[in-house]
Amino acid sequence: MSWLKWRPRPQWVPGNRVELLENGEGHFPAVLDAIARARHEVLIETFILFEDKVGQALQRALIEAARRGVQVDMTVDGWGSIDLSKPFLCALAEAGVRVHMFDPQPRVLGLRLHVFRRMHRKIVIVDGRTALVGGINFSADHLEDFGPQAKQDYSVLVEGPLVARIRSFMLEQLGRDAGERRPNAGSTKKAGDAEVMFVARDNRHQRDAIERQYRAAIHAARHEVVIANAYFFPGYRLLRAMRRAVRRGVRVRLILQGQPDMKIVKHAARLLHPQLIAAGVEIYEYCKRPMHAKIAVVDEAWSTVGSSNLDPLSLSLNFEANVMIRERAFNADLRARLDRLMHEECKQLQSEAIKPRPGGWRVLLDTLAYHATRRFPAWAGYLPAHVARLEPAVPAASDRHGEAAWRPR
């Protein structure tokens, strides 16, 4: 099926309970517990699903849910999860789990193509009552016992009226009616005091939806902005909003990767960081392990947790989803955790420590990388765009009702 777009504009929804989850140690048990309690429906979207201990635990949980009559749909990205084996997928399909692949493409000479316009969201919905949204994939590298390369990341658990809105979004992506096998009406009941907004970006109707929410929050800031982001290279308007915030007395702090794994980002940052520091923005490099977070908090009045980096891919090409939260207790907790990172596991960059590299060709390389990264989204719009679509992950199977669960395309 063609990849569908969600049209409603984001709205603040009151009456929700929110809980911050940190790393795989917090996220994975919450997901597995929710699936174990599922009675009607489980909906999952994830960029990466690996066949490691985390992926196998998820597979077992989904198979058990499907066998007790729960309707299970899982969408994985065809680039991020390209290495899933046929036995792994067939075991899910035989139990009645419907696995959808977002834009699957074959390897060419061993290489994965169609890198851009990926389904980068990480969402779990159970029975229309519980939602988990964040940046954590289903892979063991989100657990501390993975070692020095274990990722630092976050998600948020939501209960309350917003969950129904996220569920409708998820079903629309699958081409299904939101009223289909509708869970209990309890999903619309008040569960807490948090105002929460679900924001998804696409390449047609909500192109700058997430960036627009960031800019609005920074414009409204009066005391402090703290952003922790794995790939930070935003556009001019967001950078301008941060500089203007500093000029009106707001303390702006960034927590970024100490060692980015993409060289072009590292080269471009050599020019971006001095500009920000000169404007009064504080930059902290997270040094303990890879930073994979996509979170922010403003004045303890607004925060966001989600899948979107502040870079050209996330802000202009990939399909992303963030949750924005207005609840002081949640935001104070998030700010306290970020404070701990900055004081215990980061080093602050100083202007005198950021010096241009010697050699004219090196300066030219940095400059080219900087402008190429900044302008890439606009250039990408002129390139031939493949049609993103969902396809079944296995050729044929039968669901528990005896009907074809996968229809060949």
Higher-confidence position of 108 and 18: 18
Question: According to the model, what pLDDT value does residue 355 have?
Answer: 60
Helical (H) or strand (E) element with 212: helix 209-220
Q: What is the pLDDT of residue 315?
A: 83
**How much is the average pLDDT of 17-31?**
98
pLDDT of the residue at 110: 61
Concerning whether 299 is annotated as a catalytic residue, the answer is yes
User: Higher-confidence residue: 280 or 383?
Assistant: 280
Kind and range of the H or E run holding 107:
none
Catalytic hit among 202, 294, 311, 366: 294
Q: Answer with the residue of higher pLDDT: 182 or 16.
A: 16
**So what's the pLDDT on residue 47?**
97
Among the ranges given (16-25, 87-96, 347-356), the one the predictor scored with the smallest mean pLDDT: 347-356
What is the rounded distance in angstroms from the CA atom of residue 75 to the CA atom of residue 72? 10
Judge whether residue 299 has pLDDT over 50. yes
Buried b (16+ CB within 10 A) or exposed e, 307-328: bbbbbbbbbbbbbbbbbbbbbe
pLDDT of residue 242: 97
CA dist., res. 183 & res. 128, Å (int) = 6
Q: Is the pLDDT of residue 95 over 60?
A: yes
pLDDT of 128 higher than 70 = yes
Q: Of these residues, 103, 127, 153, 333, which one is catalytic?
A: 127
Q: Which residue has the higher pLDDT, 37 or 392?
A: 37
Task: Name which of 81, 78, 44, 36 is nearest 60 in CA terms.
Answer: 36
135, 118 Cβ separation under 8 angstroms:
no
The residue among 17, 357, 275 whose CA lies nearest residue 159 is: 17
Q: Percentage of residues in the chain with pLDDT exceeding 90?
A: 65
Which of these is catalytic: 202, 292, 333, 366? 292
Whether residue 139 has pLDDT greater than 90: yes
Per-residue pLDDT band at 383 (split at 50, 70, 90): low
Q: Is 292 a catalytic residue?
A: yes
Report, as an integer, the average pLDDT of 46-67.
98
Question: Residue 402: pLDDT band by 50, 70, 90 thresholds?
Answer: very low
At residue 394, the pLDDT reads 74
Mode of pairing for the β-strands spanning 282-286 and 251-257: parallel
Q: Using CA atoms, how far apart are residues 390 and 2, in angstroms rounded to an integer?
A: 6
Whether residue 294 lies in the annotated active site: yes
Q: 225: how many CB neighbours lie within 10 A of its CB?
A: 23
C-alpha to C-alpha distance for 371 and 309, rounded to whole angstroms: 18
How open is the CA angle 185-190-194, to the nearest 5 degrees?
135
**Cβ–Cβ under 8 Å, residues 233 and 264:** no
120 carries an active-site annotation: yes
Higher-scoring residue by pLDDT: 260, 68: 68
> What is the per-residue pLDDT across 217-257, written as a single tens digit (0 to 9) for each?
999 999 999 999 999 988 888 999 999 999 999 999 999 98
Please say if the pLDDT value at position 404 is more than 60.
no
Identified catalytic residue from 27, 120, 267, 273: 120
- Give the number of C-alpha atoms closer than 13 A to the C-alpha of residue 319, restricted to the C-beta side: 27
Domains of the chain: 13-200+386-392 (3.30.870.10), 209-380 (3.30.870.10)
The verdict on whether 333 is a catalytic residue reads no
Q: Which of 299, 311, 333, 399 is catalytic?
A: 299
**pLDDT for res 112:** 61
pTM as predicted: 0.88
Q: What are phi and psi of 107, to 5 degrees?
A: -70, 150
**Statement: residue 261 has pLDDT above 80:** no
Lowest mean pLDDT of 137-146, 251-260, 298-307, 333-342, name the range: 251-260
Write down the mean pLDDT value for the chain. Answer: 86
Structure tokens at 194: 């948090």
Task: Summarize the confidence of residues 282-287 as an average pLDDT.
Answer: 94
> Catalytic residue at 401?
no
* Tens digits of residue pLDDT in 153-190: 999 999 999 999 999 999 999 988 766 655 554 467 89
User: Per-residue confidence at 344, pLDDT binned at 50, 70, 90?
Assistant: very high
Say yes or no to pLDDT of 337 above 90.
yes
146 touches 53 (CB < 8 A): no
Catalytic residue of the set 27, 73, 100, 122: 122
